[in-house]
């Protein structure tokens, strides 16, 4: 009886590409390949070599040289990043399929590989849309091979796209509805949207992003810092800036409360203003590797999450899972009606305030500081933490595949 499945994963996000999306794809590959044969069809440069390692075969195909240059890199200066974003926005108005070269080359490799030995299941991950277009074309030729459409984000429901892009994505969603056997996404609200958009799809599942490390914090009776210490890990961009948080801290100091603190910011460009009264209390550090960042999160008294309310529901942000994983409290300045706040409430592992409400932020800080002084530390249970591990999330994907493949 055959037990090992042959899986094709289509994505632009795989090393050497770097992003939150890459982390999700790497987790899919890492844990699916423990029992199955995984082939990754992904984006690379002309010089990127085809690789086979530990049961994973990676098939790289290049995009055009222009789009190769337009990819973001962590080493980009701020002005280079802005130029790339601007050029990508302009080109998106005129070029419908910017990754067409990659799409056609990847499709050819997928077909060739399938003819050599058939795949049992195909997974593609949006965005970009070209990953799904490859899967759709494959399903048209091989309709008996099940396809799982991974939706890391909304498609036509994305509130930030223009009307032409929305119409184009709606057409792709019609094909997803016709050809996909299952749709998975990162949160229940997004999954529910796709249930309405693609009612003919048989299976749906929430596969969260989660954390992916084995670090365990040693929980002792008292592991507080001498001074109450906030931590923030990652970058500030767009609306995600600490102005409201700083204003709340400043007002608390102005009110002459017996409140001393430090704020450690790790990995952010200094693209924000620190009020004069807080300068001596804020320390900015260079980015560090993931596992070092995790160990540093565990040394904070309170880790700060920033995400403003907008027209989107279902946004966890990857940082939240890492914060929860180290079993330290989270100060979440987020949409109080969205999934991040709900998760913190369910796990009783932090404090919640609306992103732009200085009064709510002040109240949350006072509550967290009071608990800290009393050594009443809110953190997620070990069982709850483990439920967020990427391996657990990929187990849900494996169970979904088993259901789909039952004859």
DSSP 282-320: EEEE----HHHHHHHHTT-SEEEEE----S------HHH
Beta strand pairing call for 56-61 and 51-53:
antiparallel
Q: What is the mean pLDDT of residues 49-53?
A: 83
Does the predicted TM-score (pTM) go above 0.85? yes
Q: Which residue ranges form the domains of the chain, and what is each CATH number?
A: 6-63+99-210+390-405 (3.40.50.2000), 228-387 (3.40.50.2000)
Instruction: Choose among 248, 233, 239: nearest CA to 310.
Output: 239
Q: Label residues 256-265 b or e (16+ Cβ within 10 Å = b).
A: eeeeebbbbb
Provide the pLDDT for residue 64: 65
Place of tokens 């423990």: 34
Is the peptide bond prior to 127 cis by the omega test (within 30 degrees of 0)? yes
Provide the pLDDT for residue 73: 53
Q: Indicate if the pLDDT at residue 308 is higher than 70.
A: yes
Place of tokens 């190769």: 68
How high is the mean pLDDT of the chain?
90
Instruction: Choose among 211, 219, 198: nearest CA to 156.
Output: 198
Task: Report pLDDT digits (tens) over 329-345.
Answer: 999 999 999 999 999 99
Cβ atoms within 10 Å of 393's Cβ, excluding its own:
25
Task: Report pLDDT digits (tens) over 230-287.
Answer: 999 998 888 899 999 999 999 999 987 778 999 999 998 888 999 999 999 999 999 9
Q: Degrees (nearest 5) of the Cα angle 312, 301, 243?
A: 45
Q: What is the mean pLDDT of residues 69-80?
A: 56
Q: Indicate if the pLDDT at residue 68 is higher than 80.
A: no
Provide the pLDDT for residue 397: 97
Its sign, for the CA torsion 85, 14, 176, 310, is negative
**Per-residue confidence band for 69, with pLDDT thresholds at 50, 70 and 90:** low
Phi then psi for residue 115, to 5 deg, are: -70, -30
Q: Indicate if the pLDDT at residue 133 is higher than 50.
A: yes
* SS3 at position 125: strand
Q: Give the pair of three-digit tokens for residue 142.
A: 């091989």
Q: What is the mean pLDDT of residues 294-323?
A: 93
Number of H helices, E strands in the chain: 14, 14
Q: Provide CB contacts within 8 A for 220, sequence distance 6+.
A: none
Q: Label residues 187-226 b or e (16+ Cβ within 10 Å = b).
A: bbbbbebbeebbeebeebbbbbbbbbeeeebeeeeeeeee
Q: Indicate if the pLDDT at residue 1 is higher than 50.
A: no
Task: Report pLDDT digits (tens) over 169-214.
Answer: 999 999 999 999 999 999 999 999 999 999 999 999 999 999 999 9
Cβ proximity of 394 and 32 under 8 Å? yes
Distance CA 317, CA 326 (A): 16
Provide the pLDDT for residue 24: 95
* SS3 at position 356: coil
Distance CA 321, CA 344 (A): 10
Which of 3-7, 94-98, 121-125, 382-386 shows the lowest per-residue confidence on average (mean pLDDT)?
94-98
Alpha helices in 180-228 (DSSP H): 188-197
Provide the pLDDT for residue 63: 81
Q: What is the mean pLDDT of residues 100-119?
A: 96
Task: Report pLDDT digits (tens) over 5-48.
Answer: 999 999 999 998 888 899 999 999 999 999 999 999 999 877 78
């Amino acid at each position: 009886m055959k037990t090992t499945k042959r899986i094709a994963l289509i994505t632009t996000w795989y090393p050497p590409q770097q992003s939150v999306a890459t982390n999700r794809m790497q987790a899919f590959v890492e844990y699916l390949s423990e029992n199955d044969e995984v082939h990754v069809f992904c984006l690379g440069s002309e010089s990127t070599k085809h690789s086979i390692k530990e049961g994973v075969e990676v098939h790289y195909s290049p995009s055009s040289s222009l789009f190769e240059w337009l990819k973001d890199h962590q080493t980009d200066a701020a002005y280079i990043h802005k130029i790339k974003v601007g050029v990508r926005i302009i080109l998106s108005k005129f070029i419908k399929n910017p990754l067409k070269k990659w799409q056609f080359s990847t499709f050819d490799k997928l077909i060739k590989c399938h003819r050599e030995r058939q795949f049992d299941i195909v997974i593609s991950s949006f965005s970009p849309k070209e990953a799904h277009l490859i899967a759709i074309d494959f399903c048209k030729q091989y309709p008996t091979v099940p396809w799982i459409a991974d939706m890391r984000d909304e498609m036509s429901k994305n509130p930030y796209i223009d009307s032409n892009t929305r119409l184009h994505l709606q057409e792709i969603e019609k094909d997803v509805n016709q050809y996909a056997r299952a749709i998975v996404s990162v949160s229940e609200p997004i999954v529910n949207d796709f249930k309405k958009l693609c009612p003919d799809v048989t299976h749906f599942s929430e596969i969260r992003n989660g954390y992916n490390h084995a670090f365990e914090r040693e929980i002792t009776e008292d592991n507080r810092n001498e001074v109450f210490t906030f931590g923030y890990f990652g970058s500030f961009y767009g609306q995600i800036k600490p102005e409201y948080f700083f204003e709340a801290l400043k007002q608390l100091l102005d009110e002459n409360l017996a409140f001393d603190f430090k704020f450690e910011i790790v990995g952010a460009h200094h693209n924000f203003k620190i009020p004069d009264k807080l300068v001596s209390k804020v320390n900015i550090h260079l980015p560090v590797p993931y596992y070092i960042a995790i160990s540093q999160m565990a040394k904070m008294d309170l880790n700060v999450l920033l995400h403003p309310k907008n027209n989107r529901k279902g946004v966890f942000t990857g940082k939240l899972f890492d914060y929860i994983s180290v079993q330290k409290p989270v100060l979440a300045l987020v949409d109080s009606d969205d999934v991040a706040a709900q998760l913190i409430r369910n796990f009783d592992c932090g404090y919640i305030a609306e992103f732009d409400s200085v009064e709510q932020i002040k109240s949350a800080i006072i509550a967290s500081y009071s608990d800290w002084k009393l050594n009443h530390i809110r953190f997620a249970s070990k069982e709850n933490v483990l439920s967020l591990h990427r391996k657990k999330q990929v187990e849900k994907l494996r169970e979904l595949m088993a259901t789909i493949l039952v004859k």
